Structure 1
């Protein structure tokens, strides 16, 4: 047997039917990383594509119906690549697998509804989400104008009805949703829509869902037997198959590491239903790579290299990310990121292991590039939100200082927490005080704590933060599968500061959320306004006008605002389909298309051709940056002071950050 025919194959469920099936299906869900891993199954888009090609066109399937492909959501985030591309790089990979219909996942909305609509418009298949409605788009219209159902027709003429459903739980974890969303019961929605699909001639009814396995099982229990034949689920990152109330419930792994191949056979008799044979395929190393997909991965990698040089922000103060600082004392960079985590999730406090910061350098005043963010915060475990008792929080702080003077990564950087410790105290009893919001930690009180998923899994000795899903006692408000990477939060933050070159699809919901973050984060006055001095480096992208959304309807009592922040309406803000009309788009969408453009990406850092005037302008900017750095470092700029008329500089395209040491951590 060939590798494609047998390697990584296991039978999930057998109907014991033989011969040519009436329908052939492929299902997968939750894909993030296009490159292979190191442990089996190693996954990777290129080997995954080889399996898809095998089921699509191998001579073994000659004379059988063409395969139909179903995707159950989560592709556009989180990954380091999506931090750069805002999910755009995944579109060609999804299209290449030949998806026929998809369900929206929570991470597909991480960059806002407007960006999802932009990405979905480039997909060669429909996205469904029937039970999350946005009244602002009209009566009974799903979020982002997604479809509710889809009627597919197999190559042999059989009609398949598809319903897309999501769960209520993950709606409350997304900070970039429109206001007044209406969530409808998944089971009631299926009961309403499935009969309509049957009336349109659907012989097989499929639910593609993005909800946890217990909710899929609940859906199957609540439906009349036979109304829905199979539920193809996502959101959980594991492979599972059950039969509940006569309905097959399947989820197909994660991250291009697994897929399900399904053969469906009509049962004898009218309306008798379907038999399914389900095969699990693990994407193992011995499966050959699809050459065309390998070339796509290579093009993406080369495109990202240029994008990584792109300036994304500006710091007025040196940011201290040295191991010798972040692993044994307070760091202004640690303060900044922890504050950002806290306000992003509307938490009471935040804690981050100092080992999260990997740059091991001082970032001098000046431009911050995208690669600076990704090199400094490379980890791909999202930020989570926990409900923690004061005793557990105190134990976590004790663990953080327990190994000093060794430069262990567990040393805590914090937000809205202050604590002191004695370096010579016995390990486990070093704290001298610990406060949240200026008040001593109440050992019985519950606090909302933003932290890394790594710590919520008890790593680095943080067993007091171990969540229930990992065998601990701590409640997860936002779990890893719903959380957002630190690098993504940083990227969105710097996008929110931009004055020029704004991202076109910075939606009103993102603007509302980040406005509230800024209100809390910048009360200390460490954000510095941009210079009014024009810069020849800033190029204006074409203005872009989008059609306005229909007027917002707020009459339904079912309407509810989902998200961690209270709804606030900005009456001065013009609500449009994703942006205000004068937002410029030089940040993303005016760049050459990733994967498709033969031209190299250029920006004012990487552009090789510059005039002498441009070089002189750059030299002046560099001198100003150096002068400012020397002033902050306490050095006398004896040489630079002779250059008249060249004051300190913050570029006109963004504000500058200047986080400080604030005495949050006291060594006694």
Structure 2
């Protein structure tokens, strides 16, 4: 990527005879409120930035990622963005990976209320034999008497970031192959200009520009840094993130009838007046948070123990619930969670568990990553986790897929009983690499987990699932499995397996092994037995 960034320019110049089309582009927006530092962003000021060019009859294009993740989307599941994008006057968009964070069914419910089409041209659903999320394959928009062909393309790595869709249930076609086919079809239908709206990394947008035939402009997302590049005569634009930047692209036609392009970067600064309508929408959702926090996520059959004295000193059913959900959502072999993550410090009685309860337990927006850790690193991680026991320290591990015992009287760093350590029921191989799910916090070596800071990540932070969202999807999956909720799309959130789902919610019953004490050791077995 570094060699690409060296080539990025914020302006691509050309002669300026006649502007036949103005495009306003943005991508990857999550937070609707402004931040303190410049450019402040925020949906209300961004709306004003768009209105500056209203007299030009601009085509407003969005390159994906809006429904999640943010603190507000944890509560609304992205519904607030429906109102905002409609009011911003978006004309077309491509699905980003985070559009699927709450499942295909939920996405399709939201897009029905949006007044513009969503495109996805190269990913097909094996259940429906149509594009995933029923994205539009291609279309021609007539704008200023110009026929503009539109398609929506994503990279293959995009599939691995979908936390609620099983990759085996979708069919992917290469974006260059798709672009060539659709460009030819659109040209045959009279398209003067072909735009690929994409949600993929720079290297793939560059490959698209280098190898495809027929695409004129690539309007991209997925990367959050602003950049403009011209490759093979094709303009590639990415407009940053979080409503902080807007790209104004002028399409001009020279005397020979050839199209040329200029691109202007516009920052959303504090001195822009906030749009009154959007400001009211933002205020309405933020003021309404308390009401939305009452939503019931699931009903539990047992009391969940989130007390600090429990979670920081022993295996607990709340820790088991959360780490098992992490394991299911990421398809890792093991999951490890520092118990300081669990913040409610209370018992959650059997019965309804609400959004408010969940955000009391998990108040932070914690991304979950999968790292490749050796057995030795995993062993060292467990040693770190129990090194300060019996102090109520936040490093104490809640785990899933792992079984281990330790001697609390042993010297710190030598407490874990080696012969007891198992991953997925098999003795730990210290030379083998394991896929381990954990918070980004631990991958940075925090809470003493320095052994994980050098582990390769299987995905980047921008594609990570948020821990609270994983739990919301876990509960909803349980309802689908039990038949309490109908899954319209056939994608059962990709999380819970019918035969062996780890859960302590009302969707499944479970038996949790308790702590076994003896004079010399405390053996904590992180094992769940399920009665389905």
Deviations 1:208-267 (A, max 9, x none): 01112211112112124xx22221111222223322223222222222232222222224
Matching of residue 474 in structure 1 with residue 463 in structure 2 = no
Find the counterpart in structure 2 of residue 651 from structure 1: none
Matching of residue 411 in structure 1 with residue 384 in structure 2 = no
Matching of residue 281 in structure 1 with residue 263 in structure 2 = no
Cα 1:520–1:309, aligned 2, differ >3 Å: closer, same or farther?
Answer: closer
CA distance in 1, matches of 2:516, 2:153: 45
Matching of residue 493 in structure 1 with residue 459 in structure 2 = no
CA distance in 1, matches of 2:9, 2:161: 36
Find the counterpart in structure 1 of residue 219 from structure 2: 232
Matching of residue 318 in structure 1 with residue 303 in structure 2 = yes
C-alpha displacement of 1:438: 4.2
CA distance in 2, matches of 1:327, 1:320: 11
Moved more, 249-258 or 122-131: 249-258
CA distance in 2, matches of 1:432, 1:70: 58
Q: So what's the TM-score if we normalise by structure 1?
A: 0.70
CA distance in 1, matches of 2:487, 2:80: 16
Structure in which a larger fraction of residues adopt strand: 2
Partner of residue 238 from structure 2, selected from 243, 251, 263 = 251
Cα 1:268–1:135, aligned 2, differ >3 Å: closer, same or farther?
Answer: farther
Find the counterpart in structure 1 of residue 276 from structure 2: 291
Cα 1:345–1:259, aligned 2, differ >3 Å: closer, same or farther?
Answer: same
Deviations 1:371-407 (A, max 9, x none): 1112211222332223322122223333434555664
CA distance in 2, matches of 1:178, 1:149: 23
CA distance in 1, matches of 2:273, 2:149: 34
Matching of residue 165 in structure 1 with residue 153 in structure 2 = yes
Partner of residue 197 from structure 1, selected from 181, 186, 200 = 186
Query: Counterparts in 2 of 1:550-589, with a 5 A limit?
Result: none
Asked if the contact 1:153/1:159 (under 8 Å) is kept, the reply is yes
Find the counterpart in structure 2 of residue 348 from structure 1: 333
Secondary structure of 1:431's aligned partner: coil
Find the counterpart in structure 2 of residue 211 from structure 1: 200
Deviations 1:585-632 (A, max 9, x none): xxxxxxxxxxxxxxxxxxxxxxxxxxxxxxxxxxxxxxxxxxxxxxxx
C-alpha displacement of 1:308: 1.0
Partner of residue 26 from structure 1, selected from 20, 24, 27 = 24
CA distance in 1, matches of 2:315, 2:448: 20
Give the root-mean-square deviation of aligned CA atoms: 3.0
Cα 1:661–1:287, aligned 2, differ >3 Å: closer, same or farther?
Answer: farther
Asked if the contact 1:385/1:479 (under 8 Å) is kept, the reply is no
Secondary structure of 1:347's aligned partner: coil
CA distance in 2, matches of 1:120, 1:280: 29
CA distance in 2, matches of 1:40, 1:427: 47
CA distance in 2, matches of 1:183, 1:148: 13
CA distance in 2, matches of 1:178, 1:374: 29
C-alpha displacement of 1:115: 2.4
CA distance in 2, matches of 1:658, 1:149: 48
Find the counterpart in structure 2 of residue 516 from structure 1: 497
Partner of residue 336 from structure 1, selected from 321, 334, 339 = 321
Cα 1:68–1:182, aligned 2, differ >3 Å: closer, same or farther?
Answer: same
C-alpha displacement of 1:358: 1.6
Asked if the contact 2:103/2:165 (under 8 Å) is kept, the reply is yes
Cα 1:372–1:230, aligned 2, differ >3 Å: closer, same or farther?
Answer: same
Find the counterpart in structure 2 of residue 306 from structure 1: 291
C-alpha displacement of 1:152: 2.1
Deviations 1:478-537 (A, max 9, x none): 4433332222222223233449995565642116x3551662426xxx66xxxxxxxxxx
Secondary structure of 2:228's aligned partner: strand
Cα 1:19–1:375, aligned 2, differ >3 Å: closer, same or farther?
Answer: farther
Cα 1:402–1:242, aligned 2, differ >3 Å: closer, same or farther?
Answer: farther
Cα 1:181–1:11, aligned 2, differ >3 Å: closer, same or farther?
Answer: closer
Asked if the contact 2:251/2:259 (under 8 Å) is kept, the reply is no
Q: So what's the TM-score if we normalise by structure 2?
A: 0.86
Query: Counterparts in 2 of 1:1-20, with a 5 A limit?
Result: 12-15=10-13, 17-18=15-16
Deviations 1:155-187 (A, max 9, x none): x32222211111112223433359653211100
Segments of 5+ residues of structure 1 without an aligned counterpart are: 1-9, 58-64, 467-471, 528-653
C-alpha displacement of 1:11: 7.8
CA distance in 2, matches of 1:368, 1:460: 29
Deviations 1:99-138 (A, max 9, x none): 1111111221233323222221211111111111235545
Find the counterpart in structure 1 of residue 138 from structure 2: 149
Partner of residue 380 from structure 1, selected from 352, 355, 365 = 365
Number of residue pairs aligned between Structure 1 and Structure 2: 509
CA distance in 2, matches of 1:285, 1:398: 49
Q: Which runs of 4+ in 1 moved over 6 A?
A: 656-659
Cα 1:205–1:260, aligned 2, differ >3 Å: closer, same or farther?
Answer: same
CA distance in 2, matches of 1:282, 1:667: 58
CA distance in 2, matches of 1:464, 1:341: 20
Asked if the contact 2:235/2:261 (under 8 Å) is kept, the reply is no
Secondary structure of 2:241's aligned partner: coil
CA distance in 2, matches of 1:455, 1:49: 38
CA distance in 1, matches of 2:233, 2:415: 58
Find the counterpart in structure 2 of residue 624 from structure 1: none
Cα 1:664–1:381, aligned 2, differ >3 Å: closer, same or farther?
Answer: farther
